């Protein structure tokens, strides 16, 4: 297979903090255009895996590849080039409360891509229109609903037209109707931009709508990797235990 056709790959990745194992021997691969969902109980290593994938923290052992290029122990030049092709939707949205919507979305184009202001303004309005946000560029984050903040966070993640999108609990804290609307928008933008996605979620409806395959983590290890519909058919006791807890909550 052509290395460049790969979206993301983990090879025997392990991570520990203060001698406490967080990830142990994690290996998987997502092809370009595929969405992998990371699920598991709180503390199982999902968010840490996402940070390792984004190059925010280095693994103790193993290798991580984005688009066929190794990012573990890569030079700052290589990391900067690869990160230009990556977008991140944070669970908390991570909007700057002292900036209006336009400037929150524009910051990637201004600080990373170094575009001219006319082009920045054009692309900000383009992504706001695509996410059905209309003329809200002058509003401050404090004036937005939870669903609108999430869409502004998504706009900022996508403004640079990335090839790979990391989503950390994209519908957390939202009511079911708004949660479904956000998932639909992500699905729409994934198709439009031909995105590869790594998604952290424990919301079964979001996972089923967005994921091509699912990774279930327990204690930092992958115990199930397959299509969403395969979870309910799995005989693995940890899978059944996870599903029982999720459906009981």
Q: 22 and 145 share a domain?
A: no
**What pLDDT sits at residue 242?**
78
Nearest to 189 by CA among 29, 8, 35: 35
pLDDT at residue number 248: 52
167 within domain boundaries: no
In the chain (249 residues long), the average pLDDT of successive 10-residue segments reads 67 92 94 92 88 90 93 89 90 92 95 92 95 92 94 95 92 90 94 93 90 93 90 80 67
**Residue-level pLDDT at 2:** 44
Asked whether residue 169 is domain-assigned, the answer is no
For 107-133, b where at least 16 C-beta lie within 10 A, e where not — what string?
ebbeeeeebeeeebeebbbebbebbeb
pLDDT confidence of residue 159: 95
**Cβ–Cβ < 8 Å for 198, 192:** no
Looking at the DSSP assignment, which residues form a beta bridge with residue 20?
17
Model's pTM, two decimal places?
0.89
| 196-200/35-39 β-pairing | parallel
Question: Are residues 137 and 214 located together in one domain of the fold?
Answer: no
Name the domain count of the chain: 2
DSSP class per residue in 105-148: HHHHHHHTS---HHHHHHHHHHHHHHTT--S-TT--GGGS-HHH
Residue 175 lies in a domain: no
Q: For the chain, what percent of residues have pLDDT higher than 70?
A: 96
Q: Residue length, the chain? A: 249
**Assigned domain for 95 exists:** yes
Q: Tell whether 216 and 245 lie within a shared domain.
A: yes
């Amino acid at each position: 297979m052509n290395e460049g056709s790969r979206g993301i790959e983990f090879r025997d990745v392990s991570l520990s903090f203060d001698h406490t194992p967080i990830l142990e021997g994690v290996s998987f691969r997502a092809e370009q255009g595929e969405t992998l969902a990371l699920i598991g109980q709180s503390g199982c290593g999902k968010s840490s895996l996402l940070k390792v994938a984004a190059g925010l923290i280095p693994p103790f052992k193993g290798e991580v590849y984005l688009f066929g290029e190794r990012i573990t122990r890569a030079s700052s030049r290589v990391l900067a080039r690869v990160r230009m092709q990556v977008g991140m939707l944070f669970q908390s949205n991570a909007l700057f409360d002292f900036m209006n919507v336009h400037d929150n979305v524009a910051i990637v184009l201004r600080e990373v891509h170094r575009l001219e202001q006319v082009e920045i303004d054009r692309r900000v309005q383009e992504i706001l229109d695509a996410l059905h946000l209309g003329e809200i560029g002058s509003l401050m984050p404090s004036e937005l609903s939870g669903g609108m903040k999430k869409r502004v966070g998504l706009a900022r993640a996508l403004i640079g037209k990335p090839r790979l999108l990391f989503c950390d609990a994209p519908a957390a804290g939202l009511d079911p109707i708004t949660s479904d609307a956000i998932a639909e928008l992500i699905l729409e933008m994934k198709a439009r931009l031909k995105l590869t996605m790594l998604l952290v979620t424990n919301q079964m409806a979001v996972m089923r709508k967005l994921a091509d395959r699912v990774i279930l983590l327990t204690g930092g290890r992958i115990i199930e990797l397959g299509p969403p519909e395969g979870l309910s058919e799995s005989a693995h006791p940890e899978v059944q235990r996870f599903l029982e807890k999720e459906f009981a909550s």
